[in-house]
């Protein structure tokens, strides 16, 4: 199985600790000889949720064991706090990042993930329709500051995926810079050959409209977890404010297993509220 843990960077590293910066001159928009960009491998170690981010790299890597040539493109993003200048760090002080893993392609097809990512990082009206008709800029374009000297910073949605027992932080959507609500989903059926996930079945105690069925308590024996039983009881209760599974725009953000365990130990009722929110999110119930 492919995993980021055995990724081999094709391009070299830039030593930021000693003040050496990446050179943008080798990554200009029309430089077809070097369509990639970055200062070395970026691995997804960030938390789940919505965060400000900057684009830092787009590098071809070998993910498949035994492969002799790059087979994937890993796009790296550095994560920042709400002040947009302070990097998010882990307990050891390491900067936290997230990645998008793409098929290794030129990215000229509007359905491809590399194209979607580059398009999502453009400011509204940054390029004219005539410029866009000639193609989306290459990666190096997005590593530079904007025309007014400000940084190209935007929000990303990060989710965790586990492969070979190791967790990777993947970017699933990008909010166009300069906006607060133009979210572009970058994942789709075009990238990869994995089948679409199967629909999650409704809990047996709900109808198709999200209303509770008239079922006896005995029906839950052997069919539901304790949390689901209490979710059935509290189904019509209003969700409390300040829930950790809600983003700044109210969007649902799945919690990790560790976070769920801590929630159950510290606030049992809030853990039940999470299960209710999860069910409603899965089936688009209000």
Report how far residue 4's alpha carbon sits from residue 14's, in angstroms, rounded to the nearest whole number.
Answer: 20
As a whole number, the mean pLDDT across the chain is 78
Per the structure, the complete domain to which residue 24 belongs is given by 4-185
Question: Do both 243 and 167 map to the same domain?
Answer: no
Question: Do both 225 and 163 map to the same domain?
Answer: no
Question: Do both 58 and 107 map to the same domain?
Answer: yes
Question: Do both 29 and 70 map to the same domain?
Answer: yes
Largest CA distance in the chain: 70
Each residue's pLDDT tens digit, 134-147? 889 989 899 899 98
The angle at the Cα of 73, spanning 141 to 178, to the nearest 5 degrees, equals 40
Question: Do both 17 and 137 map to the same domain?
Answer: yes
Question: Do both 144 and 234 map to the same domain?
Answer: no
Q: Reply yes or no on whether the pLDDT at 54 is more than 60.
A: yes
**How confident is residue 201, by pLDDT bands cut at 50, 70 and 90?**
confident
Question: Do both 94 and 145 map to the same domain?
Answer: yes
Residue range 38-51: mean pLDDT, rounded:
77
**How confident is residue 32, by pLDDT bands cut at 50, 70 and 90?**
very low
**How confident is residue 99, by pLDDT bands cut at 50, 70 and 90?**
very high
Structural domain includes residue 20: yes
Structural domain includes residue 202: no
Question: Do both 179 and 243 map to the same domain?
Answer: no
Structural domain includes residue 72: yes
């Amino acid at each position: 199985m492919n995993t980021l843990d055995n990724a081999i960077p094709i391009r070299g590293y830039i030593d930021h600790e000693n003040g050496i910066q990446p050179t943008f001159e080798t990554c200009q928009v029309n430089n077809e000889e070097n369509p990639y960009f970055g200062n070395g491998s970026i691995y997804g170690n960030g938390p789940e949720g919505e965060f400000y981010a900057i684009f830092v790299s787009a590098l071809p890597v070998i993910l498949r064991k035994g492969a002799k040539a790059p087979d994937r493109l890993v796009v790296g993003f550095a994560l920042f706090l709400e002040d947009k200048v302070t990097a998010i760090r882990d307990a050891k002080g390491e900067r936290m990042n997230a990645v998008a893993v793409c098929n290794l392609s030129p990215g000229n097809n509007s359905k491809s993930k590399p194209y979607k990512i580059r398009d999502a990082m453009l400011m509204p009206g940054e390029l004219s329709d005539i410029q866009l008709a000639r193609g989306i800029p290459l990666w190096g374009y997005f590593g530079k500051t904007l025309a007014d000297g400000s940084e190209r910073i935007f929000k990303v949605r990060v989710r965790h995926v586990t492969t070979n027992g190791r967790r990777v932080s993947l970017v699933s959507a990008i909010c166009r810079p300069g906006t607060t609500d133009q979210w572009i989903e970058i994942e789709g059926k075009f990238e990869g050959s994995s089948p679409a996930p199967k629909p999650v079945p409704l809990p047996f105690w709900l109808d198709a409209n999200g209303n509770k069925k008239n079922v006896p308590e005995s029906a839950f024996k052997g069919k539901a977890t304790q949390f689901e039983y209490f979710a059935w009881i509290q189904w019509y209760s209003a969700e409390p404010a300040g829930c950790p599974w809600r983003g700044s725009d109210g969007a649902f953000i799945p919690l990790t297993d560790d976070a769920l365990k801590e929630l159950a130990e510290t606030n049992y009722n809030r853990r039940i509220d999470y299960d209710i929110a999860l069910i409603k999110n899965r089936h688009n119930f209000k």
